[in-house]
Amino acid sequence: MTEVVDRPGGSGAAANRTVPNNSAAAGKAGPARAVSRPQLPAQPAVDVAALGEQLLGKWADARKHARDLARHPELHKTEGLTHTEHRSRTFGQLQYLVDHNAVHRAFPAALGGADDHGGNVAGFEELVTADPSLQIKAGVQWGLFGSAVMHLGTEEHHAKWLPGIMSLEIPGCFAMTETGHGSDVASIATTATYDAGSREFVIHTPFRAAWKDYIGNAAIDGLGAVVFAQLVTRGVNHGVHAFYVDLRDPQTREFLPGIGGEDDGVKGGLNGIDNGRLHFDHVRIPRTNLLNRYGDVAVDGTYTSPIPSPGRRFFTMLGTLVQGRVSLDGAAVAASKIALTAAIRYATERRQFNASSHTDEEVLLDYQRHQRRLFTRLATTYAAGFAHEQLLQKFDDVFSGAHDTDEDRQDLETLAAALKPLSTWHALDTLQECREACGGAGFLIENRFASLRADLDVYVTFEGDNTVLLQLVAKRLLADYAKEFRNVDFGVLTRYVVAQATGAAIHRTGLRQVAQFVADSGSVQKAAIALRDEEGQRALLTDRVQTMVADVGSALKGANKLPLEKGAALFNQHQHELIDAAQAHAELLQWEAFTEALAEVTDPGTRKVLTWLRDLFGLSLIEKNLAWYLMNGRLSMQRARTVGDYINRLLVKIRPHALDLVDAFGYGDGHVRAAIATGAEKTRQDEARAYVRGQRASGNAPVDEKVLLARTATSR
C-alpha cells in the first residue's frame, strides 16, 4: 500500500512522489497535505524512502513495531492530568505493552523472550514519542528491575522472578541511588550483612542520607526491588552487590515489616512515574536472594567471586546495566527528531514580514537566522542518530556474546558515557530552540515542545549525571594516552617530546597561522575549500581532541605518585579541561559516525545533501570552538573568517531539502501530534493571501497612508 504525497515545488524527484506506507510515512492521520516548498532550479533529490530505511538501522522491524504502537491513542500522554491520574494511566499502559508483545525481546527465549538485546532497546526508545513517562516507567520495570535480575542473577533467580516481572505480575524497583550518594554508587551506605546463624542477609539503612531516593515504582506500584547495598560477611565489606527484596504485600499493597518509604511527589516532568524513597530497618531476606552471578556467600559466610579485583567486579556489575544509558541516548535523539519535524514543517508555512515583496510575506524558513537555528540542530540530530546506531550495535555485540571481552565492555561503557550526555543536552537545546522558533504557538501544550522539554529535563542527570559521565570518558582517554607511552623505548619518547616541543613552538609563535595565510594566498575561496574538505574537518576535530588530552596528560603526569590529597587537588585543577576534552572526543565520534554513514548512501542526490548536512555539523563544531583554534594556532584569522560564510552557503543549499530530511525520520502525525505541523497554518496563510489579493483586485481596498504620502510628494 502507498500514499501519494502532493508537494508542489519539491526538490527534483522528491516532488509529487509516491512514498511507501512503511515507517517512513506511518502514523499520518487524515488525507495527504500540500506543503509549501520553494520553487528553485534543478536540485539534487533526496530519496526519502531509502534514507528513512537507513535511519531505521539494523533493528528496523523492532522500531516499526514500536512506532506502530506509539501511534495508538491509548499510549499517548494526556495533558492536564493530575500526577495521581497520570500515574494510574501510565501503569495501565504497561499492561498494554505486555499484551502487544512490546517488552520481552531481551529476555531469555526459554522464558518467552527473544534474546534480542539490540532490538529491545531500539523498540523501547521509540516509546518516548507516545509519552516519556511511559518510556521511563517501562524502562524501570523491564530495563532496570528485570535486567538486574537477568544479568546479575543466575538461572534459579530467572526461573523464580522473571516470569512475574515480564508479565507485570511483579511490578518492581531498581533501588540503587541514595539521597546522600547520587552518582557515587560505590559509596552508598545501605548495608547487607550476612547472618550465618539464620542464613539470612540483613538489609539496613543506617541514617537518613542512606535512604534510596528517586526510585521509580517506589511510591505506589512496586511489589519487589533489586536493592544495591554493601555486602558485609565475616566482618569484611566486599563492596556493592544486588539483592532481591520483597517490598509490599501483594494483597494489601502495604509495606512489609521493617520497610518504609515516602512519595517524591510532583516533579518538573515525568509525573506518570511514582518516584519515591525507600528505607530498611534490619530487614531479613534469604541468603539466596543475593543476585550472585559475580559474587556469592556460602552458608558459612565465605565470600567467593569469579572476579578477584573488587574494583573490576564493581564496574563489571554496573556495566551489565549500561542499557539505561544506551536507551536514553536513543530516546533523546527521537525527541529531537519530533521537535525538528514539527518546527520545520511549521516554518515552511508560517509567514512573517514582507521584506522582499510589497504584497507577500516571507516564509520563516527563508530567513537565514531561522535556518541557522534549525538546520544546525538538524545536522547534529543526524550525527547523533548515526552515532547512536553504532552504540546500539556495540551494545548488542556485548550482550549477545558476539564480542564480549573485558575490553569490549569497557569500550561500550565509555561510548555510552560519551554519547548520552551530548544527545540529552542536545534534546533540551533543540526543544527549547524549536519552541522559540515557533513563537507563541510553540508555547502551547498542544504543540508538545514545552511538555517534552519538561519530561526530558531529568534525562541529563539520571542513569549517570552528564558531567560525571564525561569525567569517566576523560579518565579513559587519559589511560589510553598513558598506555601509548608506557612501554616505548627512550628514542621513541625523545622523538615524540621533540615533535611536541616543535609543534608547541609553532603554535605559540604563530608560524602555523602565517603558513596557512600564505597557503590560502589571501583567497577566501581557497580557505573555504580547505574547511569543507572531509579530511580537513577530520584533521581539525581530531587534532583538538589529541591536543587537549595530551595537554591534560602532561599536566597530570606523576599525580599518582603524589600524596592522596595533593593528587586530588591537582586533578581538580584540571577537571574543567578534562571534561572539555571528553566532550570534544564525543563530538568527534558523532562526526565520524555521520561520515561513515555517508559511505552507505548509494543514491547520488541523497549523498550530496547529506554531505552538506555533515559539513554543516562539522563546521558548526569548529565555529563553536573558534577561540580554541585561534589561540592554539590551528586556524589563521583568514581561514577562521571563512567558517561562518561557508556555513551560511550550506544553509542555502540545504533549504530546499529541509522537509525531505525531516520526513526521512519517519514520524507521522500520530507521533508528532503538534497542531502546527498538520498543515493548518498553510490553510490560514492561503486564506489570508487570497483575501488580500481579492481586495486588491476589486479596487475597493483602502489606500495605505504611506502610499498616499508618496503619491502626494511625487505630484509636487
**Phi, psi for residue 461 in degrees, rounded to 5:** -125, -10
93 in Cβ contact with 74 (< 8 Å): yes
The region of weakest confidence among 22-36, 72-86, 694-708 is 22-36
For residues 23-46, average pLDDT: 54
Task: Give tens-digit pLDDT for 593-644.
Answer: 999 999 999 999 999 999 999 999 999 999 999 999 999 888 888 889 999 9
Distance separating alpha carbons of residues 367 and 251, to the nearest angstrom: 62
Distance separating alpha carbons of residues 253 and 256, to the nearest angstrom: 9
Q: Which entry of 349, 389, 413, 463 is annotated as an active-site residue?
A: 463
Distance separating alpha carbons of residues 638 and 50, to the nearest angstrom: 40
Residue ranges of E strands in 168-316: 172-175, 191-195, 200-204, 212-215, 224-233, 236-246, 259-263, 276-280, 283-286, 296-297, 303-304
A 10 A CB-CB count for 594 gives: 24
Distance separating alpha carbons of residues 288 and 194, to the nearest angstrom: 11
Task: Give tens-digit pLDDT for 494-525.
Answer: 444 445 445 554 444 444 554 454 455 445 55
Q: Is 587 a catalytic residue?
A: no
Task: Give tens-digit pLDDT for 239-275.
Answer: 999 999 999 999 999 999 999 999 999 999 999 999 9
The region of weakest confidence among 249-253, 287-291, 451-455, 675-679 is 675-679
DSSP reduced 3-state for 285: strand
pLDDT of residue 182: 83
pLDDT of residue 356: 63
> If pLDDT is split at 50, 70 and 90, which confidence band does 349 have?
confident
Only one residue has cell 539464620, namely 198
pLDDT of residue 259: 98
For residues 685-700, average pLDDT: 78
What's the full length of the chain, in residues? Answer: 716
Distance separating alpha carbons of residues 494 and 482, to the nearest angstrom: 15
Task: Give tens-digit pLDDT for 81-117.
Answer: 999 999 999 999 999 999 998 999 999 999 999 999 9
pLDDT of residue 43: 80
pLDDT of residue 22: 42
Angle (CA) 695-699-700 rounded to 5° is: 70
How many CA atoms does the CB half-sphere of 136 hold within 13 Å? 26
Distance separating alpha carbons of residues 127 and 134, to the nearest angstrom: 7
pLDDT of residue 351: 73
Alpha carbon of residue 214 to chain centroid: 21
Only one residue has cell 542520607, namely 209
pLDDT of residue 484: 66
Distance separating alpha carbons of residues 477 and 630, to the nearest angstrom: 24
pLDDT of residue 361: 73
Instruction: Answer yes or no: is pLDDT of 435 > 90.
Output: yes
622 in Cβ contact with 505 (< 8 Å): no
Radius of gyration of the chain (CA): 29
pLDDT of residue 365: 87
pLDDT of residue 508: 46
Output the pTM of the full model: 0.89
pLDDT of residue 37: 52
The region of weakest confidence among 60-74, 299-313, 420-434, 485-499 is 485-499
Q: Torsion-angle region of residue 258: left (phi > 0), alpha (psi -120 to 50) or beta?
A: left
Domains defined along the chain, listed by start: 173-317 (2.40.110.10)
Task: Give tens-digit pLDDT for 120-176.
Answer: 999 999 999 999 999 999 999 999 999 999 999 999 999 999 999 999 999 999 999
CA distances from 681 to 358, 374, 686 (A): 21, 19, 9
Query: Which amino acid, 179?
Result: T
Could you tell me which residue, 23 or 49, shows the higher pLDDT?
A: 49
Instruction: Answer yes or no: is pLDDT of 692 > 90.
Output: no
Instruction: Answer yes or no: is pLDDT of 16 > 70.
Output: no
The burial class, CB within 10 Å (0-12 / 13-18 / 19+), for 491 is exposed
| CB-based contacts of 678, cutoff 8 Å, min separation 6 | 30, 33, 669
The burial class, CB within 10 Å (0-12 / 13-18 / 19+), for 598 is middle
The region of weakest confidence among 258-272, 355-369, 423-437 is 355-369
Distance separating alpha carbons of residues 630 and 621, to the nearest angstrom: 14
Identify the DSSP state of 679: S
The region of weakest confidence among 388-402, 407-421, 490-504 is 490-504
Q: What is the DSSP string of 142-186?
A: IIIIHHHHHHHS-HHHHHHHHHHHHHTSS-EEEE--BTTBSS-GG
575: enclosing H helix or E strand: helix 575-598
**Phi, psi for residue 181 in degrees, rounded to 5:** -140, 90
The burial class, CB within 10 Å (0-12 / 13-18 / 19+), for 9 is middle
3-state secondary structure 461-530: CCCCCHHHHHHHHHHHHHHHHHHHCCCCCHHHHHHHHHHHHHHHHHHHHCHHHHHHHHHHCCCHHHHHHH
pLDDT of residue 526: 54
Distance separating alpha carbons of residues 374 and 449, to the nearest angstrom: 14
Average pLDDT of the chain is: 87
> If pLDDT is split at 50, 70 and 90, which confidence band does 184 have?
confident
Beta-bridge partners for 203: 192, 283
| CB-based contacts of 361, cutoff 8 Å, min separation 6 | 351, 352, 353, 354
Furthest CA-CA distance within the chain:
112
Distance separating alpha carbons of residues 433 and 441, to the nearest angstrom: 13
For residues 182-203, average pLDDT: 95
Instruction: Answer yes or no: is pLDDT of 230 > 70.
Output: yes
Angle (CA) 303-304-308 rounded to 5° is: 120
C-alpha cell recorded at residue 452? 517534552
> If pLDDT is split at 50, 70 and 90, which confidence band does 665 have?
very high
pLDDT of residue 30: 40
3-state secondary structure 68-131: HHHCCHHHCCCCCCCHHHHHHHHHHHHHHHHHCCCCCCCCCHHHCCCCCHHHHHHHHHHHHHCC
Distance separating alpha carbons of residues 275 and 264, to the nearest angstrom: 6
Select the highest-mean-pLDDT range: 341-345, 460-464, 487-491, 520-524. 341-345
Could you tell me which residue, 482 or 308, shows the higher pLDDT?
A: 308
For residues 407-426, average pLDDT: 94
